[in-house]
Amino acid sequence: MSDKHRILVADPISQTGIDLLQAEPSFEVEVKLGLKEAEFCEAAKGVSAIVVRSGVKVTAKVLEAADKLKVVGRAGVGVDNIDIPAASKRGVVVMNTPGGNTVSTAEHAFALMSSLARKIPQAHATVIAGRWDRKHFQGTELNHKVLAVLGMGRIGAEFAKRAKAFGMTVIAYDPYLSANRAQLLGVELRDNLDDAVKDADFITMHMPLTNETKHMLNETRMRKIKKGVRIINCARGGLVDDNALAKLLEEGHVAGAALDVFEVEPPPADYPVLHAPNVVFTPHLGASTGEAQESVGIEIAEQVKDNLLHGTVVNAVNMPNVDPKTLAEIGPFLRFGEILGRLISQIAPQRVEKMRINYSGKLGELDTTLISRGVLKGYLEKPIGADQVNLINAMSTAENLGLKFTESRLPGPTAFNDLIEVHVSNGEDTAVISGSFFGGDPRIVKINGRHVEARPEGTLLLIENDDRPGMIGAYGTILGKNQVNIANMSLSRNVEGGTALTLLTLDSVPTEAVIKELEQIPGVIKIYSMVLE
């Protein structure tokens, strides 16, 4: 069995991207195109990475079959052909390459608008059919026309720039766009969609397909737009209700439509809009330029390579980005977070419902999202299994278990430079564990409110006992007799004669029989044996 990472390229990406992957000695690259789901499942077995465009569907079945999968790389923007929840559940990172095809797509959408305005495809067809018909192809200028851009992200903004250069008035509808950005782009921002489109001569769509955006242009809304509007969709099929569009084109309410994308791709022969008048179609070609494909092919190859070799996460759609610099900065906290999670799972009450993590000191100034995922991962290893939970699915796994998770930053100076405090509770009982760094070295500094000090390594024995003479000696005798060496010891008590916590770091794991023997010592209240590695 080869210990190389197998990479499956399941859609055509640039040769430079493939070469980049092939140049890595620890990778084996397989290019298999046009796979049906069953073939895709077979091909996905044992691969570490799958690279796609929008052609194939990375379904839950494919993800299930891909038993060694770590990352799905999308050479492009839209990830609607990938089952993201299923990938997250399986702990697979999904990355795309936003930006690499922006200009190509904006140019293509603009070309569609120009073709529509001047009926270029129809005129072209008559010329090559031997006709010289100059009467039927009178078009319309773009100059002075009103354009509504729905979705003013990367592509929308590039489109708007070009439209302004053509003398168009640009209206933007994008609930997530700031007024400042709109001003910078020189576009009129509208809060209401009907208001944004009602006077438009042209409408262009540039947003992802989501539950919120599906059929954004439906029959009712299109009917409210002034007669003669022309619609361009170079984003995703389904943003416009294509059947309603076909009807309104037939009626002449919509004067023309240019589509690069369809609700079903490829559209079947009886797809109504294909037979409507004044239409221009391309088969999802927005990103199909040499430049865009070179760019996204190289980007995705680099991202997949860095992820498999160094764990770098860039442009992931299902987990926070971690570039090498951030990874170096938060790496020690992340590893310590996992240990704290592992630790608290071993002293937690049953049926924990809530976990809260407080960050203070310098840590409170960092982006702690990943550290929190690390704590959850460590915590969930016990109930779920260490091979089943990772940084990607930790949040969704916790949610599935009904574990409510919150994090907060405690203001003001603390006794420690960096403090991570993990609380778990089932509503009645609580466990709390706190960790800090002493000169860069991680330490457990508090357990259930008691000060302790121990390196988070090896096996820890946490004993709650009555504060009375002879306890330490009794532990030492039993452990010594059973060849278990004590490497470190930390003691803490509430009041003299009250209860005490003894935290022992051991060089080997005590057997259950040894733990039972320790439990028999008069004054011992509870013992937790915590294995950290």
Ligand X SMILES: O=C(O)[C@H](O)COP(=O)(O)O
Ligand Y SMILES: NC(=O)c1ccc[n+]([C@@H]2O[C@H](COP(=O)([O-])OP(=O)(O)OC[C@H]3O[C@@H](n4cnc5c(N)ncnc54)[C@H](O)[C@@H]3O)[C@@H](O)[C@H]2O)c1
> Interface with ligand X by CB under 6 A: which residues?
53-55, 76-78, 101, 284, 286-288
Using CB distances below 5 to 8 A depending on partner kind, what does residue 208 bind out of ligand X, ligand Y, none? ligand Y
Tokens at 391, concatenated: 């940084």
Q: Is 136 a catalytic residue?
A: no
Using CB distances below 5 to 8 A depending on partner kind, what does residue 98 bind out of ligand X, ligand Y, none? ligand Y
Torsional sign, CA 54, 56, 57, 61: negative
Q: Is 468 a catalytic residue?
A: no
Pick the closer one to ligand X by CB: 96 or 492.
96
Using CB distances below 5 to 8 A depending on partner kind, what does residue 234 bind out of ligand X, ligand Y, none? ligand Y
What is the C-alpha separation between 454 and 442, in angstroms, rounded?
Answer: 9
Nearest to 358 by CA among 402, 424, 296: 424
Tell the smallest beta-carbon distance from residue 100 to ligand Y (Å): 9
Q: Is 443 in contact with 416 (CB distance < 8 Å)? A: no
Angstrom CA distances, 150 to 183, 273, 424, 467, stand at 16, 21, 45, 70
What is the C-alpha separation between 213 and 149, in angstroms, rounded?
Answer: 14
Pick the closer one to ligand Y by CB: 151 or 374.
151
Nearest to 91 by CA among 289, 384, 424: 384
Pairing of strands 418-425, 404-409: unpaired
What is the C-alpha separation between 453 and 502, in angstroms, rounded?
Answer: 10
Angle between helices 154-165 and 102-118 (to 10 degrees): 50
Pick the closer one to ligand X by CB: 27 or 262.
262
Tell the smallest beta-carbon distance from residue 76 to ligand X (Å): 3
Pick the closer one to ligand Y by CB: 258 or 339.
258
Residue nearest to ligand X (CB): 76
Q: If 0-12 CB within 10 Å is exposed, 13-18 middle and 19+ buried, where does residue 389 land? A: buried
Is residue 224 helix, strand or coil? Answer: helix
Using CB distances below 5 to 8 A depending on partner kind, what does residue 139 bind out of ligand X, ligand Y, none? none
Using CB distances below 5 to 8 A depending on partner kind, what does residue 381 bind out of ligand X, ligand Y, none? none
Is residue 58 helix, strand or coil? Answer: strand
Give the distance from CA 277 to its chain's centroid: 41
Residue nearest to ligand Y (CB): 153
Tell the smallest beta-carbon distance from residue 189 to ligand X (Å): 25
Tell the smallest beta-carbon distance from residue 170 to ligand Y (Å): 14
What is the C-alpha separation between 345 and 529, in angstroms, rounded?
Answer: 11
Tell the smallest beta-carbon distance from residue 211 to ligand X (Å): 18
From the candidates 90, 236, 423, 443, which is the catalytic residue?
Answer: 236
Q: Is 155 in contact with 204 (CB distance < 8 Å)? A: no
From the candidates 30, 251, 265, 399, which is the catalytic residue?
Answer: 265
Tell the smallest beta-carbon distance from residue 104 to ligand X (Å): 9
Using CB distances below 5 to 8 A depending on partner kind, what does residue 207 bind out of ligand X, ligand Y, none? ligand Y
Tell the smallest beta-carbon distance from residue 231 to ligand Y (Å): 15
Pick the closer one to ligand X by CB: 12 or 272.
12
Nearest to 423 by CA among 411, 413, 410, 432: 432
Q: Is 322 in contact with 392 (CB distance < 8 Å)? A: no
Pick the closer one to ligand Y by CB: 100 or 456.
100
Interface residues with ligand Y (CB under 6 A) are 77-78, 98, 101-102, 105, 150-156, 173-177, 206-208, 212-213, 234-236, 260-261, 284, 286-287
Angstrom CA distances, 249 to 227, 282, 354, stand at 10, 18, 55
Count each helix (H run) and each strand (E run) in the chain, helices first. 17, 22
Beta strands in 96-152 (DSSP E): 146-150
Pick the closer one to ligand Y by CB: 265 or 441.
265
Tell the smallest beta-carbon distance from residue 224 to ligand Y (Å): 17
- Compute the 3-state secondary structure of the chain and give helix, strand, coil in percent, each to the nearest 5: 35, 25, 40
Tell the smallest beta-carbon distance from residue 334 to ligand Y (Å): 28
Using CB distances below 5 to 8 A depending on partner kind, what does residue 91 bind out of ligand X, ligand Y, none? none
Tell the smallest beta-carbon distance from residue 13 to ligand X (Å): 8
Q: Is 253 a catalytic residue?
A: no
Pick the closer one to ligand X by CB: 208 or 458.
208
Using CB distances below 5 to 8 A depending on partner kind, what does residue 53 bind out of ligand Y, ligand X, none? ligand X
What is the C-alpha separation between 238 and 140, in angstroms, rounded?
Answer: 27
Q: Is 49 in contact with 73 (CB distance < 8 Å)? A: yes
- The phi and psi torsions of 412 (rounded to 5 degrees) equal 80, 170
Using CB distances below 5 to 8 A depending on partner kind, what does residue 312 bind out of ligand X, ligand Y, none? none
Pick the closer one to ligand X by CB: 209 or 504.
209
Using CB distances below 5 to 8 A depending on partner kind, what does residue 173 bind out of ligand X, ligand Y, none? ligand Y
From the candidates 284, 342, 373, 423, which is the catalytic residue?
Answer: 284
Pick the closer one to ligand X by CB: 6 or 284.
284
Q: Is 51 in contact with 308 (CB distance < 8 Å)? A: no
Residues marked as catalytic: 236, 265, 284
